[in-house]
Amino acid sequence: MKLVNLVNYVFKEHLSWIVVFTAAAALLFPSAFAWLAVWVTLMLQFIMFTMGATMKTSDFSEVFKQPVRVLAVVATQYIFMPLSAYLLAKLFQLPAEVALGLILLGSVPGGTSSNVLTYLAKGDVALSITATSVSTLLSPLLTPVVLSVFGGAFIEIEFWSMFLSILQVVLVPILLGLVANRFFGTYTEKMESYLPTFSSIAVLLVLAGTVAVNRDNLITTGWVIFLVVFLHNISGYGSGYLVSHLLGFSKESTRAIAIEVGTQNTGLAASLGLAHFTPLAALAGATGTMVHTLFGSIYASFCAKNDKRQAQALEKKHSLEKTTSVQAANY
């Protein structure tokens, strides 16, 4: 148990560096990791199963408490993010399959790493968990729809094939996880501390596999892909802030929404790209894992440090006011 807690702590505190190290290893030694690409779908199914196994009724409480916030996340995620990807693909004149991969990245639900990033950023974790769950459960229908609308301009999309694929990769494993939680709750509770670690390792293996098979493409066009994916990621944070400002949400909710909209399920994007198209279509998903984690970690660190500075300034102000008040009373 101590080892598991240590590993969980390392992943939480040093996730960005672990992601960079994994990607670098896959780039330097692609032959050692390329075989993982065959197992990307299975690993993603395991991640979704762990998500379902740890879901609780309370995870959806935000839907009933403040449905507007959850609706704001899901609507922004499935409308703005694919549109942003489409416009960036046109602006940078990306090759058809690379452009499709970027739009695919914008069409998938929020990633589970958004929950960790929201926690580190001192945001509304309950909202983040609920939004991730809802957007993921809606993904079998919404992802093929928005991908057909925006990605159809580049490559013909087989709607029902992708719909069934997402059912198999996302919804079925989640439902099996929920069933396991329902009938074997005693055991899943004991495993709950282990599952995030196993899930994180699976995400890293997905990253390593997709980076390895895209090694040559990343080397030749890497800077363009990184730039476009970064701009797409930034646009998600910006749209989250804009929507939150217009609707008057709290600082904590705003941070959660910005992270949730900007942080996609990159593993799912990479898996669908490999399964339905070519390794080029998985390029944005592989790059997104690195970009989303790195920028998200930087953003979370900035938010936490900013809160600390504000708390210290407020404490100093109260201390000064107290001193002034005592001096005035003595006078």
pLDDT in tens, 169-217: 888 888 888 888 777 766 666 666 666 667 777 777 877 887 888 787 7
Question: Looking at residues 302-311, what average pLDDT do you find?
Answer: 82
Domain containing 36 — which CATH number?
1.20.1530.20
Q: What is the pLDDT confidence band of residue 331, given thresholds at 50, 70 and 90?
A: low
CB neighbour list of residue 3: distance below 8 Å, 6 or more residues apart: none
Helix 125-151 vs helix 251-262: angle between axes, to the nearest 10 degrees? Answer: 40
d(CA 274, CA 283): 9
Burial class of residue 214 (count of CB atoms within 10 Å of its CB; 0-12, 13-18, 19+): buried
Which of 15-19, 21-25, 48-52, 99-103 shows the lowest per-residue confidence on average (mean pLDDT)? 15-19
Question: Looking at residues 89-110, what average pLDDT do you find?
Answer: 92
Question: Looking at residues 3-24, what average pLDDT do you find?
Answer: 73
Question: Looking at residues 19-25, what average pLDDT do you find?
Answer: 83
Of 13 and 92, the structure prediction assigns the larger pLDDT to: 92
Largest CA distance in the chain: 82
Confidence (pLDDT) at 259: 94
Confidence (pLDDT) at 258: 95
Task: Please give the residue range of the domain that contains residue 225.
Answer: 2-330
Q: Report the percentage of the chain scoring pLDDT > 90.
A: 24
> How many independent structural domains does the chain possess?
1
pLDDT in tens, 254-298: 999 999 999 998 888 888 888 888 888 888 988 888 888 888 888
Q: Does the pLDDT value for residue 326 go beyond 60?
A: no
List the beta strands (DSSP E) in the chain: none
| Of residues 299, 290, 240, 241, the one with CA closest to residue 269 | 290
Cα dihedral 241, 52, 83, 236, rounded to 10, equals 20
| Of residues 299, 238, 318, the one with CA closest to residue 113 | 299
pTM attached to this predicted model: 0.82
Q: Select the highest-mean-pLDDT range: 60-64, 100-104, 133-137, 318-322.
A: 100-104
d(CA 210, CA 208): 6
Q: DSSP for 133-201?
A: HHHHHHHHHHHHHHHHHHHTTTS---HHHHHHHHIIIIIHHHHHHHHHHHHSHHHHHHHTTTHHHHHHH
pLDDT in tens, 205-252: 877 887 888 787 777 777 888 899 999 999 999 999 999 999 999 999
d(CA 166, CA 136): 10
Q: What is the pLDDT confidence band of residue 78, given thresholds at 50, 70 and 90?
A: very high
Confidence (pLDDT) at 319: 64
